[in-house]
Amino acid sequence: MSVLSGFIAPWCQTRDTSLSTAAALIRDGIQPQEVTEMLKTLRWIAAQPDKRRVQPCCDYEKEGVYVTQWNKFDMYQSTRFEVPPALVAHPFTNASLHDGLTYFMATEDQLNQSVSSTGVTTGSIDANIALKESVWDILDQDERFRRHRGW
């Protein structure tokens, strides 16, 4: 089975390092995937009669940080809405609770670009991150991290 593009970093590489070093490890470790390969994977998933059997190929809790980028799917391209979506988010499931799981998601900016067809975008993305409460407590004390929070 194929997997959607992402990055897996061993926990030992990110556990005791600074936020900037962990970010650099993730940035440098991301492997791009061709659109055709992503579509092939999505079609494979859609064709499965029992979606419960579609499982990730790694154990996030043992493997460490997992980052996947969904904001470049052009979800709104040529789409007409009677009522536009208020939020783009990954569905919340038990898999959403794995410590270190991160999704980069499109924002309303992508919808606005599609509607206006100007091609101009701010390049904004939302980062949905699942972390243990103890990690959030540490991040909440970091001024550089708080600067990028959405709340």
Position 49 scores a pLDDT of 93
The whole-model pTM stands at 0.51
Residue 65, pLDDT score: 64
* pLDDT given for residue 107 in this prediction: 75
**Quick check: 79 and 114 in contact, CB under 8 A?**
yes
CA-CA distance, 109 to 125, in Å (whole number)? Answer: 8
Task: State which residues form the domain around 120.
Answer: 6-77+85-91+98-146
CB 101 within 8 A of CB 132: no
| Chain segment 32-69, per-residue pLDDT in tens | 677 788 889 889 989 999 988 887 666 655 656 666 77
Q: Is residue 151 part of a domain?
A: no
Q: What's the first-to-final CA gap in the chain, in angstroms?
A: 38
In terms of Cα–Cα distance, which of 147, 150, 121 is closest to 19? 147
pLDDT at 54: 84
Number of structural domains in the chain: 1
In this prediction, residue 13 carries a pLDDT of 67
> Contact at 8 Å (CB) between 76 and 106?
yes
Residue 49 domain-assigned (yes or no) = yes
Query: Which stretches in the chain have pLDDT values below 70?
Result: 1-15, 29-32, 56-67, 72-79, 84-85, 87-89, 95, 110-122, 149-151
106 lies in some domain: yes
**Measured between alpha carbons, how far is residue 151 from residues 12, 92, 146 in Å?**
30, 20, 9
Report if residue 1 sits inside a domain: no
Residue 66, domain member (yes or no): yes
Task: Confirm if 60 and 66 have CB atoms less than 8 A apart.
Answer: yes
